[in-house]
Structure 1
Amino acid sequence: MTSSTTPKTHRPEGPKHVAIIMDGNGRWAQARGRPRLYGHHAGGKRVREIVEACPDLGVKYLTVFAFSTENWKRTQAEVSGLMKMFRRYITRESQNLIDNGICVRFIGDRMRLDETLVRLMDELELVTAHNDTVHLTIALNYGGRDEVARATKRLAREVAAGRLDPETVDAETLARYLDTYVLPDPDLVIRTSGEARISNFLLWQSAYSEYEFIDTLWPDFSRDEFARVVGSFSKRERRFGAVRG
């Protein structure tokens, strides 16, 4: 659960929660003369490798940005292909995730997703709920602003029903209504593909996260490069707004 308490300045041993904006699938495919969906399938395979690398690197929580609330603006063919890929990924990877002790959660607004996909998501969350080796969170139809808006609506309903005193509402209160309420805030956010923007991802949760923008396109983001980025985190000094001691 997120906390409003400001930690002291310290050099971290390593990130416990890493979030990744998996960017560059389309460009990777186009550079090979293939359709964009070819790149998305290659990127999906890369997810398994990165998840499997987490335990050895001390990463307990991994959150990946799979599909944003803005991605509906893409062509119908690409969106339909992505939704089919998500259904196939859940079906194909379920047993592997169970066997490797991966707890899976989905965040985002499920209302726009088709019933079959939502059912598969619900089932995967249920059968992996007691796993604890790595907590994999998949952001699907997710947007940071949308998440805060939905959380605010839920909070407002509690106030209107008399179950919550508005005078007691603070940052920690709102955090309890976010999709990520059971997760710690990310220590490190990685974006692949050379773009240096956060694209509406975990806006609230990443207020004091460290960021790493790398040029590698997501389908080429290897276990070794992931280890290098995670390892470099320990060299950073996180002050959380405090001055150097």
Structure 2
Amino acid sequence: MSRRRDEGRGPLYRLYIGRLRREIHAEQVPRHVAMMIDGNRRWARQLGYDTAAHGHRAGAAKMREFLTWCDDVGVRVVSLYLLSHDNLAKRDTRELQDLLEIIAELADEISRERDWRVQHVGRAEGLPDDLSRVLREAQERSRANTGLHVNLAVGYGGRSEIVDAVRSIIAAHGGTGGSLEELAASLTPEQIGEHLYTGGQPDPDLVIRTSGEQRLSDFLLWQSAHSEFYFVEALGPDLREVDFLRAIRDFGSRERRFGR
């Protein structure tokens, strides 16, 4: 077990957690947090596991913890980047199969937690039938829930999402008999936002990425135009509650101008 996974179990750590919680005020908590969990494979390699599946499974367990942290602190929407559209084509077949099974288990478990509502964001085309079915069932099972809204980005790509939104707008406009000139004249950022996978949700206030990587990787490109970013050095499975609370505290200390 890594040293970092042993941290956070002593009384001093618990005292520090309590202090951080007291420093976070409800009005400073982001409504929507997007999480890019990264470093699962590196974590597995560092611990000597023979497959990346151990890292992905540990990362999935950490995401369940992460959701409880978000729920407990008052976040209303969480988006988890679990599998990109590019991953479907580029990952090793064995690793991808393991990852798809782990994502299916995670989606099913989350849909049964507390009063959480699950929504799949991404293209269903290209996903295995079994995973698509589990995602649909998780979404339907939790549809009436009113607690934490959890977006599971699976088979997701930010550029593809924008393309799909524009196609949806064009199709809707064509159905009314309107011309392309009229569509061009009436198109607004708000209209595109309404047709994204996350239409009707607040844009992410805070985007967190683990493992020290500092890039968007095609995640929520449109929605993150005014997001704050927070990068954590810890590999995904080693993320601690203290890391999360520091991110929330840091967010609350920033002055968000939105271009003003």
TM-score of the aligned structures, taking structure 1 as reference length: 0.89
Amino acid at match of 2:105: R
> In structure 2, which of residues 149, 155, 160 is the aligned counterpart of residue 146 of structure 1?
160
Identity of aligned residues (%): 36
Show the counterpart of 1:24. 39
Q: Please report the RMSD computed on the Cα atoms of aligned residues, expressed in angstroms.
A: 1.4
Show the counterpart of 2:230. 212
Taking the aligned partners of 1:211 and 1:92, their CA distance within structure 2 comes to: 28
Show the counterpart of 2:98. 81
Q: Work out whether 1:197 is the aligned partner of 2:212.
A: no
Instruction: Summarize deviations over 1:42-74 as a string: whole Å, max 9, x none.
Output: 000001111111232121111110000111201
Taking the aligned partners of 1:57 and 1:228, their CA distance within structure 2 comes to: 12
* Structure 2 unaligned residues grouped into runs of 5+: 1-26
Question: Structure with the greater relative contact order (CA < 8 A, sep ≥ 6): 1 or 2?
Answer: 1
Greater helix share, structure number:
2
Amino acid at match of 2:139: E
Give the C-alpha shift of residue 16 in structure 1.
Answer: 1.1
Seen in structure 2, the aligned counterparts of structure 1 residues 104 and 92 have a Cα distance that, compared at 3 Å, is closer
Give the C-alpha shift of residue 114 in structure 1.
Answer: 1.6
Taking the aligned partners of 2:177 and 2:63, their CA distance within structure 1 comes to: 41
Seen in structure 2, the aligned counterparts of structure 1 residues 190 and 124 have a Cα distance that, compared at 3 Å, is same
Count of residues in correspondence between the two structures: 228
Show the counterpart of 1:237. 255
Moved over 4 A (4+): none
Give the C-alpha shift of residue 131 in structure 1.
Answer: 1.5
> In structure 1, which of residues 47, 50, 57 is the aligned counterpart of residue 66 of structure 2?
50
Give the C-alpha shift of residue 159 in structure 1.
Answer: 2.6
Counterparts in 2 of 1:67-216, with a 5 A limit?
Answer: 67-72=83-88, 73-95=90-112, 97=113, 100-162=114-176, 165-166=182-183, 167-216=185-234
Taking the aligned partners of 1:85 and 1:55, their CA distance within structure 2 comes to: 22
Check whether the contact 2:232–2:243 (CA below 8 A) recurs between aligned residues.
no
Taking the aligned partners of 2:101 and 2:204, their CA distance within structure 1 comes to: 29
Amino acid at match of 1:132: T
Amino acid at match of 2:46: A
Check whether the contact 1:67–1:141 (CA below 8 A) recurs between aligned residues.
yes
Is the radius of gyration larger for structure 1 or structure 2? 2
Give the C-alpha shift of residue 115 in structure 1.
Answer: 1.7
Instruction: Summarize deviations over 1:218-239 as a string: whole Å, max 9, x none.
Output: 1011222111211211100000
* Structure 1 unaligned residues grouped into runs of 5+: 1-11
Give the C-alpha shift of residue 93 in structure 1.
Answer: 4.5
Check whether the contact 1:57–1:230 (CA below 8 A) recurs between aligned residues.
no
Amino acid at match of 1:33: G
Amino acid at match of 1:207: A
Amino acid at match of 1:213: F
